[in-house]
Amino acid sequence: MSTTAREPPKHTQILVVGGGPSGSYAATALAREGFQVVLMEASKFPRYHIGESLIPSVRHYLRFIGAEEKVAKYGFAHKPGSAIKFNQFNREGYTDFIALGHHNSAWNVVRSEFDQLLLQHAASCGVQVFERTRVTSLAFAPSSPSQDDDREAVIGRPVSATYVMSVADESPSSPASPTSPSTSWGYSSSEEDAQTITFDYLVDATGRAGLMSTKYLKNRKVNESLKNIATWGYWKDTKMYAQGTDRENAPWFEALSDESGWAWFIPLHNGLTSVGVVMDQKCHAARSRSASEATPPPTPKNPAFTFPLSPTSVQTRRNNRSSTFSIVSPRLSFLFRGRSDTAPSNMVPHSAPPTTSTFNFQNEPPSPARSTASLLSSKRGNMTNKYLDSLKLAPGVLQLIGGGSLVGGQIDESSDPDAEPLPGMGKAPVKSASDWSYQSACYAGEGWRVVGDAGAFIDPFFSSGIHLALTGALSAAATIAASIRGDCGEGKAAEWHNTRVTTSYTRFLVVVLSAYKQMRSQCIDALQDVGEHNFEQAFGCLRPVIQGSADMGPLLSQAELQRALDFCLNLFSPTTPEEHAKVSALLKGASSDAAQDMLDVTKPMMDGETLQKVMADLKLDNDAVCQAERKRTGSESGEDEEEERKGRQNDAATVKMVLEKVNARRVIHTEHSGISAFEEEALGGLVVRLVEGRLGLVSAV
């Protein structure tokens, strides 16, 4: 990428280290405010990165920096919503993004292309971009230790950076552990090659390598409740979810049949589909040991292939694996307690994901790609074998793969076995990652901000990575602008950024933990990961809802956290857009104002008592009303009465499930679907002035 100068200047107002989405975004937002910004990126773009699925808020973030149209016109795969299946004995749920408007949809992106697009946009907005430019160290102004001896106060304000420019592509490598500094930060060239740049403000967007958090602050910690391992690859010639409907080509997410994790199926615009499996590390290790003895190909013809386990088998596995997960407390029952379609002991597995407009599936085991069996028999690689073996636990994903082929893994005359699935990915057909869930004690200090993966990452589930990266980036830009413009002191601006990042992270962390609680059917001991203070910041409005009339203690308890997880579980209820439309029609006949507001995700969260009042107002379980209706229509037969009773029960269950899902969505709606939280949610008495040319902080009204 061309830059505005052949070499970086000796000084810049703001230095951004890292050109991923968070770095490019923060740099662009600041440059559009008229500030001098230099961005240094160690790689030469495009470069490979995982994390392809976006959520609707991304559109709003991109719109603020003038990049939405560029991304929309690029041709990335349209994402109308997402299908999630937690239970092999129930249908999948579907979250419809475009229900709130066509422009509320998102994309599935090839990250190398998406990231390059944002970096190019930054350069077009006046950012001085320097690729193949690695920052190796920082220098800090002297600072007197604070009374509490916080490390961020002890190290002082960063004032300069040492960097080297190279011809080779040498990206900062991710550390072996998220809490260990990247070995690449110790990279050194000859002294005459190393150069220095001074700056007024620093934005650390160095990704998982984490320059500030791992090398200087040493304040990163791994989330013990989310110690997973992911393996993934790219497939071609796969099927499409719900083809011919308004859900066409939506991504598919599915809990593994042994409750050890989940799988994803994300279609991309280049004809490939990203398919991955996330599994608890202990389960993955145990499965690998078992597979190393003798692993048959995952095909229906092989006796070792199993379609979804029966409820009895699932229960047996739960009882036999109490020591497998790092979680405690009794098991949960199925999520949908009280629903008429809760799986009885003799229920057959629900059909696989729909790939046709009729939503009808032949109820037969999926047929994986022909090349899958050849991969296993070819001894192509142990990682590939483990990956293909784990896909046996995701029958819906296998159904969608159909006769597809793993790119880089097919051994025949029509495929190059040494081809890279995606540029920069390497020749191996399967990639893996582990220990990716972490957070930091703080994300800002005097003269510096940490954004994106440099500070924290949760989990691929719920596709929150890019959202949190852009949230931190906009927060960094707004607080630096506020400090420069005198909206508030630098200390208060830094604290606002720290609170914003922590609050957003904690909200998505609790939502993700609620999903894992359902998938593993056990309570999750995550109190240490969530943190009492962080929960209060993120979920202060939720505490009275989940506590009801009970007295709330000053600190978060394990029981209260479990209630919060149970509340957020409703986000993933298996509802359909058709059911939401049906409930909307039923609510229109209700008389109370509360009923009219129940489907509005922008309204405040409601407690269980309010929900019960709405249900009573609908009179779905009122026999007297229904008897009068039968007399009016002349329908008196016992058979009709029984059918009507069942219909009312189903309607009541549907209404309850839909309303609980909408109510749970309110927890993260302002973040998931836009950037209004910056203007509406006061932190420390301040909100963001989200006006181009005047970006900063202002007192909340």
What CATH number is given to the structural domain containing 461? 3.50.50.60
d(CA 42, CA 172): 7
563 part of a folded domain: no
Task: Select from 490, 505, 528 the last residue of a domain.
Answer: 490
For residues 473, 474, 480, 486, the Cα torsion angle rounded to the nearest 10 degrees is -170
What angle (nearest 5°) sits at the alpha carbon of residue 447, between those of residues 183 and 24?
65
Give the structural domain span for 23.
11-77+106-221+437-490
Mean pLDDT is lowest, of 187-196, 198-207, 331-340, 631-640, for: 331-340
Question: Are 205 and 259 in a shared domain?
Answer: no
Question: Are 454 and 374 in a shared domain?
Answer: no
DSSP 172: P
Query: Residue 281 corresponds to which tokens in the numbers above?
Result: 């590390």
DSSP 179: T
d(CA 327, CA 333): 16
Question: Are 404 and 481 in a shared domain?
Answer: no
**Which residue shows structure tokens 């996330």?**
278
Q: What is the mean pLDDT of residues 439-447?
A: 95
Question: Are 271 and 289 in a shared domain?
Answer: yes
Residue 575 is predicted with a pLDDT of 85
Question: Are 139 and 273 in a shared domain?
Answer: no
Residue 623 pLDDT > 90, yes or no? no
696 part of a folded domain: no
Per-residue confidence band for 147, with pLDDT thresholds at 50, 70 and 90:
very low
Residue 374: other Cβ atoms inside 10 A: 17
Residue 155 pLDDT > 50, yes or no? yes
688 part of a folded domain: no
What angle (nearest 5°) sits at the alpha carbon of residue 244, between those of residues 241 and 247?
50
Contact 15/40 with Cβ under 8 angstroms? yes
Per-residue confidence band for 2, with pLDDT thresholds at 50, 70 and 90:
very low
Residue 329 pLDDT > 70, yes or no? no
- Residue 4's nearest CA partner among 127, 133, 122 is 127
Question: Are 412 and 452 in a shared domain?
Answer: no
82 part of a folded domain: no
Question: Are 341 and 282 in a shared domain?
Answer: yes
Mean pLDDT is lowest, of 276-285, 348-357, 494-503, for: 348-357
Higher-scoring residue by pLDDT: 323, 523: 523
Query: Residue 215 corresponds to which tokens in the numbers above?
Result: 């090398």
d(CA 36, CA 31): 6
Question: Are 188 and 263 in a shared domain?
Answer: no
Query: Residue 518 corresponds to which tokens in the numbers above?
Result: 């359902």
Mean pLDDT (the chain) is: 77
Residue 564 is predicted with a pLDDT of 72
- Residue 401's nearest CA partner among 236, 250, 238 is 238
Residue 207 pLDDT > 80, yes or no? yes
d(CA 66, CA 33): 13
Residue 577 is predicted with a pLDDT of 84
Residue 368 is predicted with a pLDDT of 40
Per-residue confidence band for 525, with pLDDT thresholds at 50, 70 and 90:
low
Residue 579 pLDDT > 80, yes or no? yes
Residue 560 is predicted with a pLDDT of 60
Contact 168/235 with Cβ under 8 angstroms? no
Residue 500 is predicted with a pLDDT of 94
Residue 395 pLDDT > 80, yes or no? yes
Most confidently modeled of 49-53, 144-148, 294-298, 427-431?
49-53
One DSSP character per residue, 374-404 reads HHHHTT--HHHHHHHHHGGG-HHHHHHHTT-
One DSSP character per residue, 281-331 reads HHHHHHHHHHHHH------TTSTT---SPPHHHHHHHHHH-TTTSS--SPB
Residue 99 is predicted with a pLDDT of 72
Higher-scoring residue by pLDDT: 635, 598: 598
Higher-scoring residue by pLDDT: 31, 518: 31
What's CA 557's distance to the chain center, in Å?
26
Contact 59/676 with Cβ under 8 angstroms? no
**Which residue shows structure tokens 């239970």?**
87
Question: Are 158 and 194 in a shared domain?
Answer: yes
The amino acid at residue 442 is C
Strands 252-255 and 261-267: antiparallel
Residue 11 is predicted with a pLDDT of 99
Residue 661 is predicted with a pLDDT of 86
Question: Are 31 and 146 in a shared domain?
Answer: yes
Residue 234 is predicted with a pLDDT of 96
400 part of a folded domain: yes
345 part of a folded domain: yes
284 part of a folded domain: yes
Question: Are 40 and 154 in a shared domain?
Answer: yes
Q: What is the mean pLDDT of residues 338-352?
A: 39
C-alpha Rg value of the chain to the nearest Å: 26
State whether residue 155 is helix, strand or coil: coil
The amino acid at residue 603 is K
Contact 28/127 with Cβ under 8 angstroms? yes
Query: Residue 14 corresponds to which tokens in the numbers above?
Result: 């703001």
Question: Are 367 and 313 in a shared domain?
Answer: yes
State whether residue 658 is helix, strand or coil: helix
Contact 130/37 with Cβ under 8 angstroms? no
Per-residue confidence band for 152, with pLDDT thresholds at 50, 70 and 90:
low
117 part of a folded domain: yes
Task: Select from 470, 490, 510 the last residue of a domain.
Answer: 490
Per-residue confidence band for 540, with pLDDT thresholds at 50, 70 and 90:
low
Residue 416 pLDDT > 60, yes or no? no
Mean pLDDT is lowest, of 53-62, 74-83, 389-398, 456-465, for: 456-465
Residue 612 is predicted with a pLDDT of 77
Q: What is the mean pLDDT of residues 509-530?
A: 70
Higher-scoring residue by pLDDT: 224, 220: 220
Residue 545 is predicted with a pLDDT of 43
Residue 411 is predicted with a pLDDT of 33
Mean pLDDT is lowest, of 91-100, 115-124, 271-280, 453-462, for: 91-100
Q: What is the mean pLDDT of residues 637-655?
A: 75
d(CA 667, CA 601): 9
Per-residue confidence band for 305, with pLDDT thresholds at 50, 70 and 90:
very low
Mean pLDDT is lowest, of 196-200, 346-350, 615-619, 686-690, for: 346-350
d(CA 226, CA 433): 13
Contact 308/89 with Cβ under 8 angstroms? yes
Residue 388 pLDDT > 90, yes or no? yes
d(CA 341, CA 548): 28
Residue 277 is predicted with a pLDDT of 97
φ/ψ (deg, to 5) at 262: -155, 170
Residue 146 pLDDT > 70, yes or no? no
The count of structural domains within the chain is: 3
Residue 420 is predicted with a pLDDT of 64
Per-residue confidence band for 149, with pLDDT thresholds at 50, 70 and 90:
low
Strands 448-450 and 195-204: parallel
- Residue 215's nearest CA partner among 246, 181, 244, 248 is 181
Q: What percent of the chain has pLDDT over 70?
A: 67
